[in-house]
Chains A and B, each alone.
Chain A
Amino acid sequence: MLPENLKENAIAASLEQADSDLLLGGNTDHNELTLDVVPEKILGALQTLKGQRFERLSTVTVVDRYPMEPRFEVVYHLQSVSRNLYVRLKCRVSGEKPEIDSATAVYAAANWYEREAWDLFGVVFKNHPNLTRIMMPDFWEGHPLRRDYPVHGYKYSYQSE
């Protein structure tokens, strides 16, 4: 359903037109358009926006709202260079089984950003071509950017004995 405050917005309206169950809400705080998207339908939303000259995916990241549930917000920033616009898409996924479809099928740039998000937050991107650790070493256990992961880690020293 298109929320009341976004009735005037052309981008939100076009997404609503493509699929009426796609949007959950949104706002235009600080003059930045944020749209809450149903996680299962994120690929459809990205595809629709790409068709509207949003040529590039600027970044994909995650915000951990621990201990709230659904815990993770997967955040996509898209830019239209020709229309000089930014839009932020947001999907809330649960902490129990955090997973969402990979955006690499629509935007190739999502590849490394999703690897980083998986590495640091443990959100699984389904159908990703190579979902491996990118920042942390391959043997690392846990996902360090989660809010319940201590800043200093779990050990006193990480130097090998």
Chain B
Amino acid sequence: MNETLTPAATTEKSQHTRRMTLNMGPQHPSTHGVLRVLLELEGETVLKCTPDIGFLHTGIEKQCEALNWQQVITLTDRVDYLANLSNNLCYSLAVEKLLEMEIPPKAQWMRVLLCELTRINSHLVWLGTHALDIGAMTVFFLCFREREDILRLFEMFSGQRLMTSYIRVGGLALDPPRGWEKRVKTFMDTLPSRVDEYESLLNSNPIWLKRTKGVGRLPVEEMLEIGMTGPCIRAAGIPMDARKMMPYSSYDKFNFEVPTSTDNDVYARYAVRVAEIRESIKIVNQAMAGMPEGPVQASAPHVVLPEREKMKTQMESLIYHFKIVTEGFSVPAGEVFQVIESPRGELGYYVVSDGTAKPLRVHMRTPSFGNLQALPNLIEDRMLADAIAIMGSLDFVLGDCDR
């Protein structure tokens, strides 16, 4: 055991107060996963905070090197289990950049639509659990009711609720199912009033306001310096959003705002995320209205599997099918750092190819890892009860952090 992480029961004793080391997690409900935080307390004030991560390290980056390019998609799902389609998209975009592949507009629009549904899904889970941490239980049930609808949509598209693997290198895995427009539209029509419902439960709730307003402030320069991204940095007043700054997958063709706030506290992070849900609804509606016609896979026979019927009737398709299935496709040597805006912040895939059918290196710059690094700066010298609210406001997923 590492010395700095070994808890000592009572480290120091003075006349009136004595310091205590508290071991929070790895099985604590408000650590949202398996995060262990060592807190050194004096009374109820946190003097020192040491996060201990790695409990969920599954060696995904190592496994990526053992699989071929298309198989890696299934691993990217498991990086961030609340934003699997964002991870699918980021990896696919990186590989497509190396392949210099053109993706048909319908696939791009579908990707945008699905990623925004993912963002709503992730924010709903965050809102529910964060409110539950602070003591508002009803919001949790309401959020998970709507989340269930989104998961049913994902199941309709891909056959899976969580590990969708729906976005593939070269486009989408399958054509969208029959009747998807109606299902998505029904859901999108009800969602805005549901968001109003959550806000009506929280915005005027005196306990919620007392626990969140003015809590968890940090100078914005320090936040940038330590690597925080996403809604946390937008709640500090910097409109940093890869969808606007470096548009990918046709995001430049959509009309939406990047919500910001300058309050820079837990409440501002909540307000920004709720505003983002509303923006995502706008984007999904635009994507539905302007959905182009055409194929959902690029015409790249050496990468995309041929249609089943063609494979059975055309010799050429059969050869491509055999080659892709047995050895996979090779990607030209090179390196790419693709950044997208995941629900949690800046998600970057650094993909290196040496020209073979397997990646040389896939590094994931995950938002949770960067945000969690700021935890000591945010918690130290504050009250223990605020630590729970601050941790919740960072919205980390430990799978995303440990990979």
A→B interface (CB under 8 Å): 29-30, 32, 34, 55-59, 61, 63-64, 75, 77, 81, 84, 86, 88, 107-109, 111-112, 120, 130, 132-138, 144-145, 147, 149, 151
Contact among B98, B226, B334, B403 for A108, CB-based, below 8 A: B226
Taking a contact as CB atoms under 8 Å apart, the answer to whether A84 and B246 are in contact is yes
Taking a contact as CB atoms under 8 Å apart, the answer to whether A109 and B54 are in contact is no
Taking a contact as CB atoms under 8 Å apart, the answer to whether A58 and B348 are in contact is yes
B-side interface residues, number (CB < 8 Å): 42
Residues of A within 8 A of B4 (CB): 130, 132
A86 to chain B: closest residue by CB: B337
Q: A136-B54, A144-B59, A144-B62 are in contact. Are A56 and B225 (CB under 8 A)?
A: yes
Taking a contact as CB atoms under 8 Å apart, the answer to whether A145 and B66 are in contact is no
Contact among A57, A133, A135, A151 for B227, CB-based, below 8 A: A57
Residues of A within 8 A of B334 (CB): 29-30
14 pairs, A vs B, C-beta closer than 8 Å? A30-B98, A32-B335, A58-B346, A59-B350, A64-B361, A75-B350, A107-B225, A108-B225, A108-B226, A109-B227, A134-B53, A134-B54, A151-B62, A151-B65
Type the 1/0 row for B1-28, where 1 means its CB is closer than 8 Å to any CB of A.
1101000000000000000000000000
Contact among B2, B57, B225 for A132, CB-based, below 8 A: B2
Taking a contact as CB atoms under 8 Å apart, the answer to whether B98 and A111 are in contact is no
Q: A88-B337, A111-B373 are in contact. Are A138 and B2 (CB under 8 A)?
A: yes
Tell me how far the C-beta of B8 lies from the nearest C-beta in chain A, rounded to whole angstroms: 17
- Of the candidates B222, B348, B361, B403, the one having the most CB atoms from chain A within 10 angstroms of its own CB is B361
Residues of B within 8 A of A138 (CB): 1-2
Number of A-B contacts (CB under 8 A): 91
The stretch that binds A, out of B198-206, B265-273, B363-371, is B363-371
Tell me how far the C-beta of B58 lies from the nearest C-beta in chain A, rounded to whole angstroms: 10
Q: A34-B335, A109-B373 are in contact. Are A151 and B66 (CB under 8 A)?
A: yes
B63 within 8 Å of A by Cβ? yes
CA A88 to CA B350, docked complex, whole Å: 11
Chain A to chain B: the 8 pairs with minimum beta-carbon distance, closest first = A109-B227, A59-B365, A135-B57, A61-B363, A135-B54, A151-B66, A138-B2, A63-B361
B350 to chain A: closest residue by CB: A61
Tell me how far the C-beta of B369 lies from the nearest C-beta in chain A, rounded to whole angstroms: 7
Tell me how far the C-beta of A150 lies from the nearest C-beta in chain B, rounded to whole angstroms: 10
Tell me how far the C-beta of A27 lies from the nearest C-beta in chain B, rounded to whole angstroms: 9
CA A56 to CA B225, docked complex, whole Å: 5
B61 to chain A: closest residue by CB: A145
Interface positions of B from 24 to 80, Cβ below 8 Å from A: 53-54, 57, 59, 61-63, 65-66
Interface positions of B from 202 to 237, Cβ below 8 Å from A: 221-222, 224-227
Residues of A within 8 A of B1 (CB): 138
A112 to chain B: closest residue by CB: B373
Tell me how far the C-beta of B325 lies from the nearest C-beta in chain A, rounded to whole angstroms: 22
Type the 1/0 row for B230-252, where 1 means its CB is closer than 8 Å to any CB of A.
00000000101000011000000
